[in-house]
Amino acid sequence: MSQNRGELTDRIKKKSEELFGSEITTKELRLLPYLMYVMMNEQRLDPNKINEEERKILRKWKDAGYIEGGASGMLITEEFWKIMTEIIFLGYVDID
């Protein structure tokens, strides 16, 4: 069976449980590529591209110590970067 890009699958849920300690949501999965883009480019969130639900997700990750800042400048931990790459790979690259 083939998966669609950005589809929350059982293997992504399992991997997120392993890495985050809880399953991620589809909204969290789809927010990760934007965060990766931000960190590889301007390193500032664009408030016009983040909705209220995404702000709550970012708050959760800030509270967990994975990220700092936002529109004025963003920092992330190396651990969070590695988590993002593993989950993005499963959700957007390795979609056989």
pLDDT in tens, 50-92: 999 999 999 999 999 999 988 889 999 999 999 999 999 999 8
Question: For residue 76, what is the enclosing H or E element?
Answer: strand 73-76
CA 53 to chain centre: 13
Which pLDDT belongs to residue 95? 76
Whole-angstrom Cα distance, residue 76 to residue 14?
Answer: 23
Domains defined along the chain, listed by start: 10-93 (1.10.10)
User: Model confidence over 33-47: pLDDT tens digits?
Assistant: 999 999 999 999 999
Tell me the residue type at 45.
L
**Going by C-beta distance under 8 Å and a sequence separation of 6 or more, which residues neighbour residue 74?**
38, 39, 43, 44, 45, 67, 68
